[in-house]
């Protein structure tokens, strides 16, 4: 069994957050499934309990300061925070960019991660016992996609991760990010179904010729929060089936490969 830590996973009701909640609970940690969709969070908690794990739901909107502060108070002993609450974006051109969508994305993805880190940095420091925070970046933080709100927001999360690691390191709190490639989550399935993402293209652009499973992101998050990663802080770890390597490789003039 694990260390019986209290672990808070925002966005824990779905996708990467759900897989992360299941991963920590399976290793013996107590998980707070914090989400704006408490109904779906209840289902994750039921799944964890059916497997003999411990979890509870917390209804939170990470875009709201008071809501995040209430979460941090309710989970005051948390040693691990995973900021997985987030929104994806449909591709657009700058001329037609919807600024309401832009602002909501920044409010949830970037500002929500910052707010949660601030709230839990306070409770972790007050406990004096160190801790671990993991943010969710994206390959769109380091490569150009037609996602004018989402990509820059993820680049900001990478920068924030390094800043927080420096800020909180002396208090024994490590801060890292995972940088997922294309992950088959509910949001991604919906975008494939509506024609906004091409699954064949996403598979062929990766070295391993496939997309990433949510559980594979969860494994990387679990590692970053484990003692095995005790000297790792301030990094954004790609978990992308080799997308970052392969996407430029296969573009090289004269490349005759089939994938």
Ligand X SMILES: NC(=O)c1ccc[n+]([C@@H]2O[C@H](COP(=O)([O-])OP(=O)(O)OC[C@H]3O[C@@H](n4cnc5c(N)ncnc54)[C@H](O)[C@@H]3O)[C@@H](O)[C@H]2O)c1
| Interface positions with ligand X (CB under 6 A) | 10-11, 13-17, 35-37, 40, 60-63, 84-88, 108-109, 112, 136, 138, 180, 182-183, 185-188
Q: Is 150 a catalytic residue?
A: yes
The DSSP bridge partners found for residue 174 are: 132
List phi, psi (to 5°) of 6. Answer: -90, 125
Closest by Cα among 205, 215, 213, 211 to 249 = 205
Sole residue written with tokens 């707010």: 115
Q: Which CB sits closer to ligand X, 63 or 225?
A: 63
What residues have CB less than 8 Å from 41, skipping those under 6 apart?
A: 12, 13, 33, 34, 35, 57, 58, 59
Side-chain-side CA neighbours of 195 within 13 Å: the count stands at 0
CB of 1 to ligand X, least distance (A): 26
CB of 10 to ligand X, least distance (A): 6
Question: CA-CA-CA-CA torsion for 225, 219, 212, 174, nearest 10 degrees?
Answer: 10
Sole residue written with tokens 């993805």: 109
Taking the CB of residue 152, how many other CB atoms lie within 10 A of it? Answer: 16
CB of 255 to ligand X, least distance (A): 25
CB of 86 to ligand X, least distance (A): 2
Q: Which CB sits closer to ligand X, 143 or 172?
A: 143
Q: Which CB sits closer to ligand X, 201 or 231?
A: 201
Catalytic residue of the set 110, 150, 182, 249: 150
Question: Is there a contact between 118 and 135 (Cβ–Cβ < 8 Å)?
Answer: no
Q: Which CB sits closer to ligand X, 47 or 258?
A: 47
CB of 185 to ligand X, least distance (A): 3
Which tokens go with 56? 């509870």
Q: Which CB sits closer to ligand X, 125 or 247?
A: 247
Question: Is there a contact between 82 and 95 (Cβ–Cβ < 8 Å)?
Answer: no
Question: Is there a contact between 18 and 35 (Cβ–Cβ < 8 Å)?
Answer: no
Catalytic residues: 150
């Amino acid at each position: 069994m694990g260390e019986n830590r209290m672990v808070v996973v925002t966005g824990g009701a779905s996708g990467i957050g759900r897989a992360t909640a299941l991963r920590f609970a399976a290793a013996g940690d107590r998980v707070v499934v914090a989400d704006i969709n408490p109904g779906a969070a209840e289902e994750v908690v039921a799944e964890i309990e059916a497997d003999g794990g411990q979890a509870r739901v917390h209804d939170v909107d990470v875009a709201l300061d008071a809501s995040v502060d209430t979460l941090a108070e309710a989970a005051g002993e948390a040693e691990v925070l995973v900021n997985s609450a987030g929104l994806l974006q449909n591709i657009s051109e700058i001329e037609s960019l919807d600024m309401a969508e832009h602002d909501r994305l920044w409010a949830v993805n970037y500002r929500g991660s910052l707010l949660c880190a601030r709230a839990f940095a306070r409770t972790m420091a007050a406990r004096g016992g160190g801790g671990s925070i993991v943010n969710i970046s994206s390959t769109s933080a380091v490569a150009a996609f037609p996602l004018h709100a989402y990509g820059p927001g993820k680049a900001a999360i990478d920068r924030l991760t390094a800043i927080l690691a420096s800020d909180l390191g002396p208090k024994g709190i490590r801060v890292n990010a995972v940088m997922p490639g294309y992950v088959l989550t509910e949001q991604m399935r919906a975008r494939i179904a509506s024609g906004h993402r091409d699954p064949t293209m996403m598979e062929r652009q990766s070295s391993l010729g496939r997309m990433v499973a949510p559980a594979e992101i969860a494994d990387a998050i679990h590692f970053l929060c484990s003692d095995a990663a005790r000297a790792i802080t301030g990094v954004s770890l790609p978990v992308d089936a080799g997308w970052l390597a392969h996407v430029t490789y296969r573009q090289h003039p004269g490349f005759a490969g089939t994938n």
